[in-house]
Amino acid sequence: MRDRFPHLGILGASLVLALTVSATPVQADGVAPGPRNLACEPPSSIDDGWTTASPDSVGMDGAQLCGIAARLEQRATKVHSVVVARHGKLVFEQYFPGYDQPWGQPDGQHEFTATTKHDMRSASKSVVSLLVGIAIDRKLIAGVDEPVLKFFPDHQTVKQAGWEAITLRHLLTMSSGMKWDEARAWTDPSNDEPHLTFEADPIGYVLAKPVAAPPDTLWTYNGGGTELLGNILERVSGKPLEAFAREVLFQPLGIPDVEWKAYKNGKIAAAAGLRLRPRDAAKIGQLVLNRGQWNGQQIVSADWIAQSITPRFQAIGYFGGTLFYGYQWWMGRSLAGGKEIKWVAAFGWGGQRIFIVPELDLVMMTTAAQYGQPKEGLAAIDILSNIVIPSVRDAH
């Protein structure tokens, strides 16, 4: 949602306001050590489950990574953090103070460190996808071809013609065909997304939407479908979404410091409300990179990961149509050294990004405050494509 309850947003516009940049590796207590020059060091251990190492020890050029702060300052971005992991080890992190619009907190200047939670915005959707996979693994849900209406017997009276054909897979791939538009101005009454925050029954609102196209024929960015998935998880688990997520995903990942915010109507914001520390968000990327494993534990099945990151639709209207979409995950590519490098990503409005680069055994995570800016999120692509990927010095 484009002001207080954001979604991925419309991508495009110029980045403004120079960011005061300082490299701030944190101490073991999570406190930034104070002003320093742009020389950077390997991440500190804060007992969060990450093994830390120097970039050079995992085949990356540490000096090149240390140019990230200068690059961000040169391009006048509003990036708050950059975290990089390779070969399962955390090898780089920097945090930058700046303006933010954190959910439920005052807008304004904020300090960011390794222990500061940040809004994930629509990167929350990718986490919901993981939770659906875990629910299927645990036989709470039979599979992605289950009809959506099966889970909502209490909403049969509001459903429109055509909903009988919509399955969980269609919600996951944003191909349900329901009439949905969240690309309009937030104040436009035709924008469906604000209804998720103020409707007394947002689930009923989504289920009452008419079906404009047969499922599997039209890709439309749609947070309403993710809200249905979140509610289904609550129904099959018998627990609030955040409680279920803590039990089956965050605790196994060693992520105790997490929030999942609610809309103004009190309903959990499945599509956009997650808040995590950047290092913890990078664990989500590492989990996908490791085909559902973290520190040797299989948290979600490898098959679900493979299904989730299989390209299924052209994401028309985003980055000029150069992106593909899977089960609430994006797929794209970067050009580095004359070679195309494919990646998988979670995208959140304002520049929240989790990039997974399987070919290089690499994860990069960024947080930012590029809300409503026409080139929102492009700073992350720039850093990934022009610094992080080129810094890899080996081919494995």
Please tell me the distance from the alpha carbon of residue 132 to that of residue 127, in angstroms, as a whole number: 9
Q: What is the pLDDT of residues 5-17, one digit of tens each?
A: 333 333 333 222 2
Residue 94 clears pLDDT 80, i.e. is over it: yes
Domain-embedded: residue 299: yes
pLDDT at site 42: 83
Residue 386 clears pLDDT 90, i.e. is over it: yes
pLDDT at site 32: 36
Domain-embedded: residue 228: yes
Contacts of 166 (CB under 8 A, 6+ apart): 147, 148, 149, 176, 177, 178, 211, 215
Domain of residue 192, residue span:
117-331
More confident residue, 211 or 19: 211
pLDDT at site 37: 36
Domain-embedded: residue 305: yes
User: Hey, which bits of the chain come out as E strands?
Assistant: 51-52, 79-86, 89-95, 98-100, 108-110, 118-119, 259-260, 274-276, 293-294, 297-298, 313-314, 324-325, 330-336, 339-348, 352-357, 362-368
pLDDT at site 317: 79
In the 8-state DSSP scheme, what is residue 328? Answer: S
Over range 109-129, report the average pLDDT. Answer: 97
Residue 193 clears pLDDT 70, i.e. is over it: yes
More confident residue, 124 or 4: 124
Beta partners for residue 331, in sequence order = 324, 344
pLDDT at site 34: 35
pLDDT at site 41: 79
Residue 27 clears pLDDT 60, i.e. is over it: no
Q: In this structure, how many other beta carbons lie within 10 angstroms of the beta carbon of residue 29? A: 10
Residue with tokens 């889970």, as numbered in its chain = 151
Read off the pLDDT band of 38 (50, 70, 90): very low
Over range 256-281, report the average pLDDT. Answer: 97
Nearest-Å Rg of the Cα atoms of the chain is 20
Please tell me the distance from the alpha carbon of residue 184 to that of residue 193, in angstroms, as a whole number: 9
For residue 322, give the CATH number of its domain: 3.40.710.10
Percent above pLDDT 90 for the chain? 82
Domain-embedded: residue 345: no
Buried b (16+ CB within 10 A) or exposed e, 202-224: bbebbbebebeeebbeebbbbbb
Domain-embedded: residue 146: yes
Residue 3 clears pLDDT 50, i.e. is over it: no
Do the beta carbons of residue 232 and residue 192 sit within 8 Å? no
How many domains does the chain divide into?
A: 1
Residue 342 clears pLDDT 80, i.e. is over it: yes
Do the beta carbons of residue 287 and residue 131 sit within 8 Å? no
Percent above pLDDT 70 for the chain? 89
Torsion sign over Cα 218, 224, 228, 233: positive
Domain-embedded: residue 163: yes
Domain-embedded: residue 302: yes
Residue type present at position 52: T
Domain-embedded: residue 232: yes
pLDDT at site 314: 95
Look over the chain and give the mean of its residue pLDDT values, rounded to a whole number.
90
Weakest mean pLDDT among 21-35, 110-124, 376-390 = 21-35
